[in-house]
Structure 1
Amino acid sequence: MRPLLTAAGSVGLAGLGVGAAAHIWARHVEIHRYTLRELTLRILPPGTRTIRVLHISDIHLVPDQERKIAFLEYLGALNPHLVIDTGDNIASAAAIPVLAEALDPLLRRPGAFVMGSNDMFEPAPKNPARYLLPDPRPDGMTAPRDFTLPTEELARRLTAHGWKDLTNSRAVIELGGLEVRLAGVDDPHLERDEMPAPADPAPSDPAHGHVLRLGVAHAPYRRVLDALTADGSDLLLAGHTHGGQLRLPGFGALVTNCDLPRQQARGLSTWQDVPLHVSAGMGASPYSNYRLFTPPEATLLTLRAREASTGS
Structure 2
Amino acid sequence: MRASRTAAVALGAAAAGVAVWSTVIERRLFTLRRHTLPLLAAGAEPLRVLQLSDLHLAPWQANKIDWVRSLAELRPDLVVLTGDLMGHREARFALLHALRPLLERTPTVYVHGSNDYYGPILKNPVKYLLEPSRKNTRTPDLDTEALSRGLADLGAVSLNNAATRLTLRDTPLELFGLGDPHIRYDDPAAMRAARAALPSEEDAAASAAAPLQLGVVHAPYQAALGELLDEGAELILAGHTHGGQVRVPGVGALTANCDLPTAQARGLSVWYDAERAAFLNVSAGLGNSIYAPVRFACRPEASLLTLEAAR
Q: Is the 8 A contact 2:47 2:169 kept in 1?
A: no
The yes-or-no answer on 1:295 pairing with 2:299 is: yes
Corresponding residue for residue 160 of structure 1? 153
- 3-state DSSP of counterpart to 1:288: coil
- Match of 2:115, as an amino acid? N
Equivalent residue runs for 1:1-312 within 5 Å: 3-6=1-4, 10-108=6-104, 109-137=106-134, 140-141=135-136, 143=137, 145-195=138-188, 196-198=191-193, 199-200=195-196, 203=201, 205-208=204-207, 209-272=209-272, 273-307=277-311
Rate the CA distance shift 1:131–1:10 in 2: closer, same or farther, 3 A.
Answer: farther
Distance 2:37 2:155 in 1: 26
Task: Tell me the amino acid that sits aligned with residue 71 of structure 2.
Answer: L
The CA distance in 2 between the partners of 1:257 and 1:25, in whole Å, is 23
Helix, strand or coil: the match of 1:286?
A: coil
Letter of the 1:31 counterpart: R
- SS of match in other structure, 1:128: coil
Query: For the residues of structure 2 that align with 1:60 and 1:207, how far apart are their CA atoms?
Result: 38
Moved more, 39-48 or 199-208: 199-208
Higher gyration radius (CA): 1
Alignment check: 8 A CA contact 2:172 2:206 kept: no
The code of the aligned residue for 2:301 comes to: E
In structure 1, what is the Cα distance between the partners aligned to 2:155 and 2:166? 10
Alpha-carbon offset, residue 210 of structure 1:
4.5
Q: Are the aligned partners of 2:57 and 2:287 in contact in 1 as well (CA < 8 Å)? A: yes
Structure 1 residue 13: Cα displacement: 4.3
How far off is 1:257 after superposition?
Answer: 0.5
Aligned-pair Cα RMSD in Å: 1.7
Poorly superposed stretches of 4+, deviation over 6 Å: none
CA displacement at 1:26 relative to structure 2: 0.4
State the SS of the aligned residue for 1:42. Answer: strand
Report the alpha carbon displacement of residue 11 of structure 1 after superposing the two structures with TM: 4.2
Q: Displacement of 1:107 after TM fit?
A: 1.2
Write the deviation string for residues 124-170 of structure 1: whole angstroms up to 9, x where unpaired: 01111101113334xx51x4x53201111111111113211011111
Distance (Å, rounded) in 2 between the aligned partners of 1:268 and 1:214? 15
Q: Deviation per CA, 1:34-66, whole angstroms, max 9, x where unpaired?
A: 111111111112222111000000001111101
Distance apart, 1:95 and its partner CA: 1.2
Q: Is the 8 A contact 2:100 2:154 kept in 1?
A: no
Taking only the aligned residue pairs, the percentage that are identical comes to 42
Matched letter for residue 228 of structure 1: L
Question: Which amino acid in the other structure matches residue 123 of structure 1?
Answer: P
Task: Tell whether the 8 Å contact from 1:122 to 1:148 is kept in structure 2 after alignment.
Answer: yes
Shift of residue 289 of structure 1? 1.2
| TM norm structure 2 | 0.91
Equivalent pairs counted in the alignment come to 299
Whether contact under 8 Å (1:56, 1:281) holds in the other structure is: yes
1:48–1:210 contact (8 Å) kept in structure 2: no
Provide the TM-score with structure 1 as the length reference: 0.91
Q: CA deviation at 1:215?
A: 0.6
Structure 2 residues not aligned, in runs of 5+: none
Single out whichever of 238-247 and 197-206 deviates more from structure 2: 197-206
Q: 2 CA distance for matches of 1:62 and 1:69?
A: 9
